[in-house]
Amino acid sequence: MTTSEGIQAFETDWENAPYKPLFNCPQCKGSGYVYLRKPDGSVEYNRIVSCDYPECYRDNFESYLRGEIIQESGVVGLKQTFGTFDRSVPGVEKAFNMASKIAEAGSDFIWGIIYGGVGNGKTHLLNAIANRVMGRGVSVKLVMMAELLSDLRMGIEDKQTDFKMKVLKEVPYLLIDELGLEYGTDWEKEKIEELLAARWNNGRFTVVATNLSIEDLPERIKSRFKDTHLSRWVKNSAPDYRQKRRAK
């Protein structure tokens, strides 16, 4: 695969990620993603893929899947997959089925939302989707909503916001954890609506998890997730797992 140069990223952009790009990578410049080149050598700006330079993003993710990289965030387990998800807990079955289906190549819908209370496995399911998708050799990006917005705001000063938005718009699978109403400024609202509209219009797989009821989401976002031709929305009604662990 012939690729063009990426755009320089900062280590802080990836500090909480369990798998990271090579920050001195000569191919992607630490961004983790690169543009493809056409047969004539020109850059194909409508195609972004994960960097396949040795020891960079793709190698590190595959190492993570093999259990060679340990996640140190303290929030999720070392390897959260569909196989390690506890399906015996009442209330999780619909969310599990939706997540496992959209992670596969033959899914008949491209958008999904999992909503419900805190600590009941929504993040686990997003990590499981990421593991399954990357296991198929497909690029995926999993971000927390607050971090996504912070990253876009930081990009204003170094003029990387447009590139970061392009990656978010074009990565084949985008998974957003803790989608909510954190974005209060007009600029933040515009960016989120621009991102989701672009992914919807181009048929990109998009899955979000939120503690809110779907009825509490902004109308433009809610209407897309309620389109039953392309979307599925399920409630995870399980209780807080973390409270049970603390009680034990």
Domains contained in the chain, CATH given: 1-72 (no CATH), 75-247 (3.40.50.300)
The CB density around residue 13, as the number of other CB atoms within 10 Å, is 21
- Residue 65: the pLDDT is 56
Residue 239: pLDDT band with limits 50, 70, 90: confident
Residue-wise pLDDT for 185-226, tens only, equals 788 888 888 999 999 999 999 999 988 877 777 777 778 887
Q: How far apart, in Å, are the Cα atoms of 6 and each of 9, 165, 167? A: 9, 14, 11
Q: What is the mean pLDDT of residues 128-149?
A: 84
Q: How far apart, in Å, are the Cα atoms of 45 and each of 2, 33, 170? A: 13, 12, 10
- Residue 21: the pLDDT is 78
Residue-wise pLDDT for 56-101, tens only, equals 877 777 666 555 444 433 233 347 889 888 888 888 999 999 999 9
- Residue 22 corresponds to which amino acid? L
Q: What is the mean pLDDT of residues 223-246?
A: 75
Residue 8: pLDDT band with limits 50, 70, 90: very low
Residue 74's Cβ-side half-sphere holds a number of Cα atoms within 13 Å equal to 0
Contacts of 220 (CB under 8 A, 6+ apart): 193, 196, 197
Token representation of residue 137: 């050799």
Token representation of residue 83: 């196989």
Residue 211 burial class via C-beta count within 10 angstroms: exposed 0-12, middle 13-18, buried 19 and up: middle
For the chain, what percent of residues have pLDDT higher than 90? 20
Name the 3-class secondary structure at 94. helix
- Residue 77: the pLDDT is 38
Please tell me the pTM assigned to this model.
0.69
Q: Which of 55, 50, 20 is nearest to 36 (CA)?
A: 50
